[in-house]
Amino acid sequence: MRRIDGRRTCTQLARIASTCLLLLLLVGCAPAEKLPTYPWTDARSALHVLAERAGAVHAASAECALTLTRPDGESVRLDGALAMKPPGSLRLRAWKFNQAIFDLTLTPEGLWVVTPQDPARRDKVLPASISAGKMARAWALFSGGFFTADDLIVHDPGGARFQVERTIDGQRVRCDVERATLTPRRYSVFDAGGVARFTLIADRYEDFHGIIWPVRLSAVSESGKIAIELHDVELNGELPPGAFTPPRRAQRVP
C-alpha cells in the first residue's frame, strides 16, 4: 500500500484552498442579504408593512454604476449619481472617462434629458437616456406608494412569493413580493394582451438603520436593459434646492 505523506498532503490542501480563495476574490461574489423576516399572518398585514416602508423614504441619494445593454447585446458601463424624492422626482447623471453622457431629470411635470451636442453621439446616447427614463419613472412611482392604492388585488398561491396587482394609466401592473422578508422583487407592466412590456427587478436589498432599500435593480423592455448598482447610499438626507430643476439645455422627451 502506498504510504501517504501527511505533511505533503496538508501542503497540497493549503495550496488548493488558497487557489480557491484567490479565484473567489477575482470573480467576486454578491454579499448575502441580511434582512428581518416576518411571520406570515395575512395579506392585509403584509400590505401595511409594504406601505409603511414606502412611506419611510422621503429622499435618497447615491453614487451608482450603470450598465446599458441594447437589444443587439452591445453594452456600455457608466459611472453615475442619482437623487430621488418619491413618488415623482428623480435626477440621474451618467458619465464615462469623466465625460458626461447624459443628465436626466424626472418631475411630476415630465422628463427632461441632456445629451451630447454632437449629432452622431446624441443619436447613440438618446435611446439609452430614454431607457433610463423609463426605469426612472417606474422606480419613482413604485417606490413612492404602490401599496397604498385602493384598487390593490392580492394573489396568493402559496410558496415563497405572492403577487399584488393594480392598474396604473390603464395598464395592469403586478408586483411579486418575497413572503419571508416582505420585499418587492419584480414589477411587471402588461399590455392589453397580457404580454409583459416592462419589467423592473430588485434583486438585492440592504438594511439602512431599519429602512429596507434596494441597491441593485435592472429594467428590461423592448428597447434593451439597464442595470444599476448603488453605493454610498444616503436615505432621508438633505438634497440641494435645485436637484430636480432641469438644466437649460435639457430637452423634454415623451
Contacts of 56 (CB under 8 A, 6+ apart): 211
Q: Which helix (H) or strand (E) holds 90?
A: strand 89-96
pLDDT at residue 230 above 80?
Answer: yes
CATH class of 43-253: mainly beta
Cis peptide before 241 (omega within 30 of 0): no
pLDDT at residue 24 above 70?
Answer: no
Mean pLDDT for the stretch of residues 76-84: 92
Residue 229, burial from CB neighbour count under 10 angstroms (0-12, 13-18, 19+): middle
Q: What pLDDT score does 208 carry?
A: 94
From residue 124, give the alpha-carbon distance in Å to each of 57, 68, 223, 224: 34, 12, 13, 13
Mind listing the pLDDT tens digit for each residue in 90-144?
Answer: 999 988 888 887 888 989 898 888 876 666 566 566 666 666 777 777 777 777 6
pLDDT at residue 69 above 90?
Answer: no
Per the prediction, the chain carries an average pLDDT of 81
Q: What pLDDT score does 234 carry?
A: 96
Q: What is the pTM of this model?
A: 0.80
166 or 128, which is more confident: 166
247 or 9, which is more confident: 247
pLDDT at residue 239 above 50?
Answer: yes
Assign 88 a pLDDT band (cuts: 50, 70, 90): confident
Mean pLDDT for the stretch of residues 16-28: 33
pLDDT at residue 45 above 90?
Answer: yes
Residue tagged 446616447 (cell numbers): 125
Residue-wise over 105-116: b if at least 16 C-beta within 10 A, else e? Answer: bbbeeebbbbbb
192 or 63, which is more confident: 63
159 or 23, which is more confident: 159
Mean pLDDT for the stretch of residues 187-192: 91
Mean pLDDT for the stretch of residues 225-233: 93
**Cβ–Cβ < 8 Å for 122, 116:** yes
**Cβ–Cβ < 8 Å for 212, 227:** no
pLDDT at residue 254 above 90?
Answer: no
Assign 253 a pLDDT band (cuts: 50, 70, 90): confident
Q: For the chain, what percent of residues have pLDDT higher than 90?
A: 44
Domain range annotation of the chain = 43-253
Find, among 39, 53, 43, 36, the residue nearest to 163 by Cα. 43
